[in-house]
Amino acid sequence: MSSPQPGTVLVTGASGFVAGHCIEELLRHGYAVRGTVRDPERAEKVAHLTAQAADLGGRLDFVAARLDTDEGWAEAVDGCTFVLHVASPNPPSVPRTEDEIVQPAVEGTLRVLRASAASDTVQRVVLTSSSLAVNAGRAEPEAGRHTEDDWSLIENCSPYEKSKTLAERAAWNFYHDLPDKSRLDLVTILPALVLGPLQRAEVNTSNAVVQRLLDRSMPAVPDLGFSLVDVRDIATAHRLAMESPQAPGNRYLCGGTYTSMLDMARVLAAEFGPAGFRVPTRRLPYWAMWLAARFDPALRLALGYVGRPERLSSQKAIDELGWTARPAARTLRETGQSLRDHHIVHARR
């Protein structure tokens, strides 16, 4: 581990989709970056980032740290000014027991915060939470949209929703209990469904939605919708949260335009249909989805969201951070193109 220069940012879970884009954003803005990986043997998971840092003439190194043990965290934060805590389990299906994901999410967050508070250098932690820490298990507001004042109802949450809500709550409790607030700032970013170009040929849980439309493994379209948001805009939100003097002590919801899956499918069909992709554009009735969900773990995960439009306000991030979100259709087209470029989806002629 080389000694970090001032302004160095620790990004946890460097091998992940969102974290990879955060690292790229930071390198492009001149920050030196240190990434954590849980398995240093799997160097191929971050090789694209090393290559990118070399291209940009940026400084990037990696250290090993896992969310489920204390080992490595003091060394990871040592000398860093900022920490973006992005790592958290984001599995494609419902886990066998909720502890598999709730424990690493909550305890990992506390490990990162404890190490940061104990260090002489860390000034601010930006935690990646989720819009699911705001609206899960809650009825949609009669009028208006969910905001940062809302919290999900734990008793109605799925294991993933619970992991995100409890991890963010634990972070704020830790922060409010700090004896000396001048030692450490906390900001949380709450993205909605994050899509966007892949940096390497592995599909994370959220981009699998686009993959399944393009490869037609979903022959009809569930009655779902998302405030989908571009990963590059989420990376920018993390940087702004790290830099903004106004951000400490705040949560920021970051969602884009609410788009039904049927409209997502139509955008993809228009873009990739001529190239031989047979994107489904028929609605999947609920009963058929319920039946299919018995055999398809990802559909099982989605059942709870059927017919529930997501109404979120990102106005606070826009007003206070100067954040902007690019159009959803552009993100969808570029996600699809990236899945093609990485040979994850293929035309069926």
Alpha carbons within 13 angstroms on the beta-carbon side of residue 122 total: 28
Strand ranges (E), the chain: 9-11, 33-37, 60-64, 82-85, 124-128, 185-191, 194-195, 225-227, 229-230, 251-254, 258-260
Q: Which is nearer to ligand NAP, 196 or 280 (CB)?
A: 196
Sign of the alpha-carbon dihedral angle for 225, 319, 27, 182:
negative
Q: Work out how close the CB of 288 gets to ligand NAP at its nearest, in angstroms, rounded to a whole number.
A: 25
3-state helix, strand, coil in the chain (%, to 5): 45, 15, 45
Nearer to ligand NAP, 4 or 89 (CB): 89
Using the minimum distance from each CB to ligand NAP, give the nearer residue, 1 or 270.
Answer: 1
Q: Per-residue x/- mask for ligand NAP, residues 212 to 241, rule CB under 6 A?
A: ------------------------------
Question: Any contact of residue 73 with ligand NAP (CB under 6 A)?
Answer: no
Which lies closer to ligand NAP via its Cβ, residue 87 or residue 102?
87
- Residue 313, beta-bridge partner list: none
In this complex, which beta carbon is closest to ligand NAP, that of residue 66 or of residue 278? 66
Binding mask 173-202 for ligand NAP (x = CB under 6 A): ------------------x-xx--------
Q: Which of 9, 23, 86, 184 binds ligand NAP (CB under 6 A)?
A: 86
Q: Looking at 162, 164, 181, 316, which residue is catalytic?
A: 164
Residue 327, number of CB atoms within 10 A of its CB: 12
> With contact defined as beta carbons under 8 Å apart, do 191 and 255 qualify?
yes
φ and ψ of 72, to 5 deg: 95, -20
Q: Is 164 a catalytic residue?
A: yes
338 binds ligand NAP (CB under 6 A): no
164 binds ligand NAP (CB under 6 A): yes
User: How many whole angstroms separate alpha carbon 211 and alpha carbon 332?
Assistant: 11
- Bridge-based pairing state of the strands 194-195 and 82-85: unpaired
Which residue in the set 8, 10, 15, 196 belongs to the binding site for ligand NAP (CB under 6 A)? 15
Is residue 313 a contact point for ligand NAP (CB under 6 A)? Answer: no
Tell me the residue number closest to ligand NAP, measured at CB: 16
Measured from the CB of residue 7, what is the shortest distance to ligand NAP in angstroms? Answer: 23
Tell me how far apart the alpha carbons of residues 27 and 57 are, in angstroms, rounded to a whole number: 9
Among 89, 197, 225, 256, binds ligand NAP (CB under 6 A): 89
Is residue 190 within 8 A of residue 129, CB to CB? The reply is yes
Contact flag: residue 124 with ligand NAP (CB under 6 A): no
Selected range binding ligand NAP among 2-10, 66-74, 300-308, 330-338, rule: CB under 6 A: 66-74
- Kindly report the length of the chain: 349
Strands (E), 48-119: 60-64, 82-85
C-beta closer to ligand NAP: residue 290 or 305:
305
Is residue 255 near ligand NAP by the rule CB under 6 A?
A: no
Question: Of the two residues 45 and 162, which places its CB atom closer to ligand NAP in the complex?
Answer: 45
Q: Cα separations (Å) of 331 from 207, 222, 256, 345? A: 11, 20, 10, 17
Interaction between residue 13 and ligand NAP (CB under 6 A): yes
Does position 87 interact with ligand NAP (CB under 6 A)? The reply is: yes
Among residues 129, 136, 117, 23, which one has the least CA distance to residue 73?
117
Q: Which two tokens stand for residue 159?
A: 């294991």
Binding site for ligand NAP (CB under 6 A): 13, 15-19, 38-39, 45, 66-68, 86-90, 104, 128, 130, 164, 191, 193-194, 204, 206
Catalytic residues, by residue number, are 164
